[in-house]
């Protein structure tokens, strides 16, 4: 799952240059964030969010606020958050460990503050705890062209199925959340159910339950659900 996620990101040359921490902490691809001529709360707190009522096809539907709807662009982070990874951080106050789920913040009313890192803190390592059923995992990315494009929706899934029943699951979504999106609700919806399309669809519905669409990104809700279902089905058929 992790290697698929890494390979699904960017291009060979970019990957050769990128660091793991840099990838986790990369800034959003929101058009308006990158165009300094337009208002953006993330770039310039209080200036307004151009995306809310602008062109927002690539924007998030989960974890958004009235101040920012920018998607977190990383693929790798989606796999890592599904795997309960932890980052080791050193800073002026010494070393500490932050779970990946707690590394990124929701935009809320301060979209400029993207992570829970303190000033001066550096990521020095990422630990991925062993997961017994990690071998039954995959990362599926859906995008506008076959390669070298950010996700419109992606799903990182790992499922432990015994005797046709889901014992445990790890699910995270990319391309739809303001942070790498752990779908705990979907995991909950799967546990104890018979593996199969119905259960997967129920999990997908649970994952997107709180989704808030804007003018151009409503399709992402259905796309994300189908992406998740497809990922789970593909895992089943392996």
Partner 1 sequence: MTSPNEPRTTGAVGAPINRVDGRLKVTGAARYSAEIPVDDLAYGVIVQSTIARGTIDRIDAGEAEQLPGVIAVMTPRNAPKLESLQKFEREGSKGSRPTGRALSLLQNDSVHYNGQPIALVIAESIEVAMHAASLVRTTYRVDQPTIDMATALPSAYPSTEKIYGREPPATQRGDLQAGLAAADVRLDVVYTTPMETHNPMEMHATIAAWDGDKLTLWDATQNVHGVRGTIAKTLSIPPEQVRVISHFIGGAFGGKGSAWSHVVLAALAAREVRRPVKLVLTRRQMFGPVGGRPHTVQHVTLGAARDGTLTALRHDSTSSTSTIEEWVEAATLATRILYDCPNEETSHRLVRLNVGTPTFMRAPGEASGMFALESALDELSYELRMDPIALRLKNYAEADPESGKPWSSKSLRQCYALGAERFGWARRTAEPRSMRDGDQLVGLGMATATYPVRRMPASADACIYPDGRAVIKAGSHDLGTGTYTILTQLAADALGIPLGCIRVELGDTDLPQNPISAGSMTVASTGSAVHLAAMAAREKLIQLAVTDPRSPLHVAQHGAVEIAGGRLTLHGDVDRGESIEELLARNGGQPIEGRADAKPGDETQVYSMHAFGSIFAELRVDPDLGTVRVGRLVGAYAAGRILNPKTARSQLMGGITFGMGMALMEHTITDLRSGRYVNADIAEYHIPVHADVPGIEVFFVDEHDEHVDPIGAKGLGEIGMTGVAAAIANAVFHATGVRVRDLPITLDKLL
Partner 2 sequence: MGTVISQVTTVDVELRINATTRQLALDPRTTLLDALREHLDLTGTKKGCDHGQCGACTVHVNGRRVLSCLTLAVAAQGKDITTIEGVADGDQLHPMQQAFLDHDGFQCGYCTSGQIMSALALLREPCGASDDEVRECMSGNLCRCGAYSNIIAAIQDVRATHAHEA
Ligand X SMILES: Cc1cc2nc3c(=O)[nH]c(=O)nc-3n(C[C@H](O)[C@H](O)[C@H](O)COP(=O)(O)OP(=O)(O)OC[C@H]3O[C@@H](n4cnc5c(N)ncnc54)[C@H](O)[C@@H]3O)c2cc1C
The binding site for ligand X (CB under 6 A) comprises 9-10, 14, 17-19, 21-23, 25-26, 73-76, 122-123, 150
* Residue 147 binding partner per list partner 2, ligand SF4, ligand X, none, with a CB distance cut-off of 5 to 8 Å that depends on partner kind: partner 2
Tokens of 213: 């669409």
- Give CA–CA dist 171/167, Å, rounded: 13
Which residues have CB under 8 Å from 58's CB, separation 6+?
Answer: 29, 30, 31, 71, 150, 152, 217
Q: Residue 14's binding partner, choosing from ligand SF4, partner 1, ligand X, none, with beta-carbon cut-off 5 to 8 A by kind?
A: ligand X
Is residue 36 within the footprint of partner 2 (CB under 8 A)? no
In the range 33-92, which residues lie near partner 1 by CB under 8 A? 35-38, 50, 53-55, 57-58
Part of the chain binding ligand SF4 (CB under 6 A), chosen from 27-35, 88-96, 143-151, 206-214:
27-35
Tokens of 147: 């390669």
Please tell me the distance from the alpha carbon of residue 40 to that of residue 196, in angstroms, as a whole number: 43
Looking at residues 99 to 158 of the shown chain, list those that interact with partner 2 (rule: CB under 8 A). Answer: 146-148
Angstrom distances, CA of residue 7 to CA of 64, 140, 147: 27, 11, 10
Dihedral angle sign, alpha carbons of residues 149, 129, 21, 178: positive
Q: Least distance (Å) from partner 2 to the CB of residue 134?
A: 21
Among ligand X, ligand SF4, partner 2, none, residue 23 binds (CB under 5-8 Å by kind): ligand X
Residue 232 lies near partner 1 (rule: CB under 8 A): no
Among 200, 190, 195, which residue's Cα sits nearest to residue 226? 200
Q: What is the largest CA-CA distance in the chain?
A: 58
Q: Write out the residues near ligand SF4 by the rule CB under 6 A.
A: 28, 30, 32-33, 40-42, 49-51, 68-70, 111
Q: Write out the residues near partner 1 by the rule CB under 8 A.
A: 29, 31-32, 35-38, 50, 53-55, 57-58, 142, 144-150, 152, 219, 222-223, 226-227, 229-230
């Amino acid at each position: 799952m992790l290697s698929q996620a890494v390979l699904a990101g960017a291009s060979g040359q970019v990957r050769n240059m990128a660091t793991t921490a840099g990838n986790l902490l990369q800034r959003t691809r929101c058009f308006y964030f990158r165009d300094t001529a337009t208002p953006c709360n993330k770039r310039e707190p209080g200036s307004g969010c151009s995306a809310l009522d602008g062109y927002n096809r690539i924007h998030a539907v989960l974890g958004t606020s009235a101040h920012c709807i920018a998607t977190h662009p990383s693929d790798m982070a989606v796999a890592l958050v599904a795997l309960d990874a932890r980052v080791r951080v050193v800073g002026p106050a010494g070393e500490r460990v932050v779970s990946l789920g707690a590394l990124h913040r929701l935009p809320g009313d301060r979209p400029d503050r993207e992570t829970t890192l303190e000033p001066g803190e550096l990521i020095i390592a990422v630990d991925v705890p062993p997961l017994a059923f990690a071998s039954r995992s995959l990362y599926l990315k859906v995008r506008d062209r076959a390669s070298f494009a950010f996700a419109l929706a992606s799903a990182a899934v790992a499922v432990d199925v015994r005797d046709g029943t889901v014992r445990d699951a790890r699910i995270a979504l990319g391309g739809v959340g303001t942070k790498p999106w752990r779908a705990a609700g979907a995991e909950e919806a799967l546990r104890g159910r018979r593996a199969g399309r119905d259960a997967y669809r129920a999990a997908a519905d649970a994952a997107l339950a709180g989704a808030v669409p804007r003018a151009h990104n409503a399709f992402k809700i259905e796309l994300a659900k189908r992406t998740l279902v497809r990922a789970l089905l593909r895992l089943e058929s392996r």
